[in-house]
Amino acid sequence: MDRQKSMKDGLRRRRFLRASLLGGAAAQVAAQTRLPPPREPESGGTGGVSYQTQVTIERRRTGKPRQGQVVCAIQPHCDDVPIFAAGTVTKLIDEGCTGYLITMSDDSMAGGGASYGDIILKNERDTVEVSQRLGCKEAFFLKYPNHSMDIWPIVEMRARLTFLFRMLKADIIVVYDPSALYERNPDHYVTARAVEWAAAIAGSHWDYPEHFRAGLEAHAPKERYYFARGPQLVNRVVDITDFIDQKVNVNLANVTQGPAGNTGSRLRRQLASQGKRLPLLGNDDETANREYIKYFALSRDRARGQAHGLQFAEFFHYIGPDETDVGDFVERNAVPL
Ligand SMILES: [Zn+2]
């Protein structure tokens, strides 16, 4: 029995020694070959399937770091960018971007006016004013049917947007989130879908090659700021505290439609007729309009800011440049042959 036990012990020892030697060799090879860190992009592009996203707070940057870049803000109606993204657009322009405002619908269905034609004209004038107050260089009107954009071929919208992105050399787009939930307005989700793919194929040499014969070049935006009215995957909080008064000024221009315009002065006069006043609205119409916009119409910006320790903020799903980290890894780890 003792002899058998000692034979078994010897076998076990030899196996252990062989395993240790192999393990040591594998560890040595692994030490010589450093592996790149595993990576799953979070913001779209090539992947990222998790609903858990890391939120980045984007603060004001000085020194014009975006000089030479172009931002295109695209909206179905004249009040969409003013309400959800005017702080961020003015911030990007303040940082050096050249801005353009593209309005997709003819804005014939919202606001006060004597007729459809009258409403269209008033909204168009408001939009030109909005564009100037944002600091944009130019406003484009694509004139699709308001409230019925879902009847229009999306491929035609995409073609026009691709042309614009190439012509303007758009680097950044700001638009409704094509993946947001519970959006009920077809103009909103059709615009988002058309922009989403136009921004991708604008960089392709195979799409619309006749553009190149006309002198344009393939050029795709590399950054996307998507805003939404319903639940969305928020991964970017833009601190717009320094730009809130400019945002108020932009919203003040939307007098025909939108939740801003002259609502504050109307409320002030209504209260006065009842022998009352709200100290918040000040002593004149101009102050009443600005304060109403800042504290009522844009109250979501305060709520969003407070949730992140800021005064005023806008929320986005942000998709940044889809850069590979292969080159960086090669530079740091390549060894002579
Ligand atoms: Zn809208």
Measured in Å, residue 187 CA sits from the centre of ligand 1 at 7
pTM equals: 0.86
CA distance 124 to 186: 20
Measured in Å, residue 327 CA sits from the centre of ligand 1 at 42
CA distance 296 to 308: 20
Measured in Å, residue 76 CA sits from the centre of ligand 1 at 6
Measured in Å, residue 4 CA sits from the centre of ligand 1 at 86
Position 212 scores a pLDDT of 97
Interacting residues of 320 by C-beta distance below 8 A, sequence separation 6+: 43, 222, 223
Split at pLDDT 50, 70, 90, the class of 272 is: very high
Measured in Å, residue 148 CA sits from the centre of ligand 1 at 12
| Three-state secondary-structure class, residue 60 | coil
Whether the pLDDT of residue 21 is over 70: the answer is: no
Measured in Å, residue 156 CA sits from the centre of ligand 1 at 20
Position 26 scores a pLDDT of 58
Split at pLDDT 50, 70, 90, the class of 1 is: very low
Split at pLDDT 50, 70, 90, the class of 119 is: very high
Identity of residue 265: S
CA distance 299 to 81: 16
Which residues are paired to 223 by β-bridges? 172
* Cβ proximity of 309 and 231 under 8 Å: no
Provide the sign of the torsion angle of the four alpha carbons 233, 238, 239, 245, taken in this order: negative
Percentage of the chain beyond pLDDT 90 is 72
CA distance 190 to 220: 20
Position 255 scores a pLDDT of 86
Position 20 scores a pLDDT of 52
Whether the pLDDT of residue 9 is over 70: the answer is: no
Measured in Å, residue 143 CA sits from the centre of ligand 1 at 14
Measured in Å, residue 77 CA sits from the centre of ligand 1 at 5
Whether the pLDDT of residue 77 is over 70: the answer is: yes
Position 11 scores a pLDDT of 52
Q: HSE-up of 217 (CA within 13 Å, CB side)?
A: 5
Position 325 scores a pLDDT of 76
Measured in Å, residue 102 CA sits from the centre of ligand 1 at 13
Whether the pLDDT of residue 191 is over 60: the answer is: yes
Identity of residue 79: D
Split at pLDDT 50, 70, 90, the class of 85 is: very high
The residues placing their C-beta within 5 Å of ligand 1, an ion, are: 76-77, 80
Long-range (24+ apart) CB contacts under 8 A made by 112-118 are: 112/256, 113/256
DSSP label of 296: I
Per-residue pLDDT tens digits for 135-179: 999 999 999 999 999 999 999 999 999 999 999 999 999 999 999
Sheet holding 172-176, edge to edge: 56-58, 236-239, 313-319, 223-227, 172-176, 70-75, 98-105, 138-144
